[in-house]
Chain A
Amino acid sequence: MTPTDRTHRTVDVLVIGAGPAGLAVAARLAAAGVDRVEVLDREQRAGGIPRHCDHTGFGLRDLRRVMTGPDYARHHIAAAIRAGAVLRTGVTATGWAAPRTVDITGPTGLERITATAVVLATGARERPRSARLVPGTRPAGVFTTGQLQQAVHVHHQSVGHRAVIVGAERVSYSAVTTLRRAGAEVAAMVTDQPRHQTHPARHLGTRLRHGVSLVTDATVTELTGRERLESVRLRHRDGRTAAIGCDTVVFTGDWIPDHELARSAGIALDPGTRGPATDPEFRTGAPGVFAVGNLLHPVETADIAALDGRFAAAPVLRHLAGVPWAPGPLPVRVEAPLLWISPNRLTPDGPRPPRGRFTLRTTRFLTRPVLTVSQDGRTLHRGRLPHTAAPNRPFHLPADWIAGADAHGGPVRITAD
């Protein structure tokens, strides 16, 4: 065998990423009679992030019941296999040999797989401390939620005695649960926002059950400690500073899509989400390449990702049937303080996004904002959001205006006042 020997195969659909979105699209396609649907995951086990979220709350929107993360992962794995999809774990897509041809590394060797359709479902990750440019020393005891959950729930490792959590959104509260499970005390949650960004009941429950205090309007300015973390220094918006003694800090949220494969294919990214720019039919700019799940919207809950997979099946089937590739030509852009919108390309006479709406994020709290959709100075839609838009939580924009957009005009702009 020479160093570069590769086996070469073809499949109908290659799904990269066996989290809820990838498994859901594979299950639908296989059930619809597509012969060769293959799902790859670089982890040793399929299931994606829910695999190590050992708490309940999964499945409400797609399965109409509530279960734990690991059970939810198992459900989707079983459904994909039952439908006839081939599921392979411990194999990594390392790059592209051609537009729909992917190079793979696994314990059985190097492969090259050509597919009629490729579905990217590679998910998202949290920005680590370094990417957030938090200064200070580089001691042990610095985590993201992803690493923390795997350490505690998968590998049963110790994580320290006293922790500070950076962030106060949904996943931050999961980090509290995980830390408590691991026997660590949570000294404080810290957010740069004026209040938490989770469900009020969740926040109250955490405060009552675990006595966790929330420090708002504060940013982490420094980590101290040599071998092990000793403290986290904070600065409040009003200039006050403080240090909290702790041996563990968890940087939560601040998601970025794991877009390496998409970007290395030269697929255009959306400047807001940093995931591939996609239209309501999950089409990227590369013919035959679809994208689903939290790669597109960092991040929605697992069940929303799974629904993406379910909705994407029909467009993938149309592509397999030979319908010409014509992704939405019009970019949809948000302006500050909005952060992103998904989907972010559209065809005025094409279908609306699933469930008839776009999903958005804001960088700060907006009390019942008026959302305006315009194109080349022309207003296509204006409407007041019936509730407060909170950072790190989804809110939605109805899509009934898209037919009014000009397919040959400039980008569609979304503003909030």
Chain B
Amino acid sequence: MTVTTTGDLPDEVYDVAIIGAGVVGAAIARELARYRLRIALVEASNDVGNGTSKANTAILHTGFDATPGTLEARLVREGYQRLTAYAAETGIPLEPLGALLVAWDREQLAALPSLAEKAARNGYDETVILDADAVHAREPHLGPGALGALEVPGESIICPWTTTLAYATQAVRAGVDLHLNCPAGAITTGADHHEIATPRGVLRTRHLVNAAGLYSDEINRRLGHEEFTVTPRRGQLIVFDKFARGLVDHILLPVPTALGKGVLVSPTVYGNVMLGPTAEDLDDKTATGSSADGLASLREKGARILPELLEEEVTAVYAGLRAATEHGDYQIHADPGRRYVAVGGIRSTGLTASMAIAAHVAELLGDCGLDPGPEREIEPVRMPTIGEAFPRPYQRADLIAADPAYGTVVCHCERVTRGEIRDALTATVPPGSLDGIRRRTRALAGRCQGFFCGAAVRAQFEAATAAQDRTEARR
């Protein structure tokens, strides 16, 4: 098992290198790990799932509203099935709450039948149109004035962090090399292999997959391609206190109209309620800040959808950038001559579609001359339970009896124990920062944002990091 964060890259020629360890890159690595290939997953930052993948709306989409006939429609539909099964197998938190697309005016109400029809064309037949009474019966705290809704029972909420981590963990355990802190620079494509310059030396690989998210267009240009340009689309989100969870039972989606998609209100698998996102087209691929205007507009929209939500405390505010392009569909292209596959324009549906994208990319690599050899079984993974739908370690007498560290709560707001933080720090893919601990365990993610436990969690992290440094120094 190899995860590197510093030092020279190994002096070998990989069969496949994947640039970008977001949810898509990690899924591709896991997919390819099912063959006897030498694979490198290289990531610019200090952790997997650390860009667009960490800050999305955390919804597993049925694909009911995709544009029929597109690649995205097919991969979302297929990815939904694959990830639902994978989540059950690995313990990725997932709750099939169902969605309501709530119509607030005549125009939106009139759009519902065509949305149901579109869903059917996407192979999804389970939608139901509800009248106003039925909507309010299902969601008693909904604001006044809802005229009806389209119910989409299959829409689910999922943990995006655990998903990426599960892919990466399984891939690394199956022999994939994960190189963190390894941004890709100039790329030279030779007759036999690519040479990718990185601050940690040259990475050599016969086949190259570009899953660089917001930067996929830049990598693509280095390979001589110009199919797409990424225009980051910022989505700001407000996460409300767990006391808001009782206010809402479904994912409340907006009805898309000519004026845009609007904002959603959704429970999270951690027991909070999320409001957002905004949709702002930007030039800056690092503009992950929130803005006063954005937050004010979210609160205004949220007040209409679920008025009582605004009376609850805010636990977190964040912003993510979707890798939007000028095209309406995913930009997945193979260049067999260069043994190269670009995976660009993967928008917010990428979490849902990730496993299907991976299977699709594996096929395209075949077209590029990759002979994967026979498929093999890879060891299943079981991820720590950080969702609220199943008992957490602090609720488990059997776990605590076996190891009292699971009975020592460190992060009180999220009830994260010393044992879970220790496990995360010593896991196959350990966190590179306190934020990494937060995404793996939920420590520091609660209502106090570290008032009570911030210093203690940092102490545990720094002790583990120091111990690792000592081990590496001895090597």
A positions within 8 Å CB-CB of B = 1-6, 42-43, 90, 92, 94, 105-110, 125-131, 133, 135-138, 140, 143-144, 146-147, 150-151, 154-155, 157, 221-224, 226, 256, 258, 263
Contacts and interface: CB of A to CB of B under 8 A. Distances in A.
B289 interface: yes
B333 interface: no
The 8 A-B pairs at the shortest CB distance, nearest first, are namely A128-B449, A107-B404, A150-B455, A147-B454, A146-B451, A151-B455, A107-B407, A5-B397
Given A133-B295, A135-B294, A151-B455, A105 B407 contact: yes
Given A109-B407, A135-B317, A144-B451, 14 more contacts: A5-B397, A6-B397, A107-B404, A108-B400, A108-B407, A110-B397, A128-B451, A129-B449, A130-B316, A131-B449, A135-B290, A140-B434, A154-B455, A157-B462
Contact of A131 (B315, B398, B452, B455): B315
A140 B318 CA distance: 14
Given A42-B412, A130-B314, A144-B449, A110 B400 contact: yes
Nearest to A224: B289
Contacts of A143: 450, 454
Contacts of A128: 448-451
Contact of A155 (B286, B313, B412, B456): B456
B290 A92 contact: no
B408 A107 contact: yes
B124 interface: no
Interface stretch (B176-184, B205-213, B388-396): B388-396
A165 to B, nearest CB: 15
Nearest to A110: B397
Nearest to A137: B289
Contact of A135 (B289, B316, B401, B451): B289
Contacts of A106: 407-408
B234 to A, nearest CB: 12
Nearest to A122: B412
A155 B458 contact: yes
B288 interface: yes
Given A107-B407, A131-B447, A94 B454 contact: no
Contacts of A222: 289, 292
A106 B454 CA distance: 20
A105 B398 contact: no
A226 B394 CA distance: 34
A136 B287 CA distance: 9
A284 B291 CA distance: 40
A144 B292 contact: no
B459 A155 contact: yes
Contact of B448 (A3, A43, A125, A137): A125
B141 to A, nearest CB: 17
Most chain B beta-carbon neighbours within 10 Å: one of A3, A5, A105, A140: A105
A109 B396 CA distance: 8
Contact of A92 (B314, B317, B412): B412
Interface string B392-428: 0011111111001101110010010000000000000
A109 B395 contact: no
Most chain A beta-carbon neighbours within 10 Å: one of B290, B314, B462: B290
B188 to A, nearest CB: 30
Contacts of B291: 135
A93 B456 CA distance: 19
9 contacts: A94-B395, A105-B400, A106-B407, A131-B449, A133-B295, A135-B295, A147-B454, A221-B292, A223-B289
A102 to B, nearest CB: 14
A144 B450 contact: yes
A125 B448 CA distance: 7
Interface string B427-466: 0000000100000000000011111101110110010000
A387 B396 CA distance: 55
A94 B400 contact: no
A92 B394 CA distance: 9
B291 to A, nearest CB: 5
B395 A136 contact: no
A80 B209 CA distance: 65
Most chain A beta-carbon neighbours within 10 Å: one of B290, B294, B314, B449: B449
Interface in B275-295: 286, 288-292, 294-295
A5 B451 CA distance: 32
Interface in B177-219: none
Contact of A107 (B405, B450, B452): B405
Contacts of B409: 42, 92, 105
Contacts of B451: 125-126, 128, 144, 146-147
Given A105-B409, A106-B407, A226 B401 contact: no
A143 B444 CA distance: 12
B260 to A, nearest CB: 21
A133 B314 contact: yes
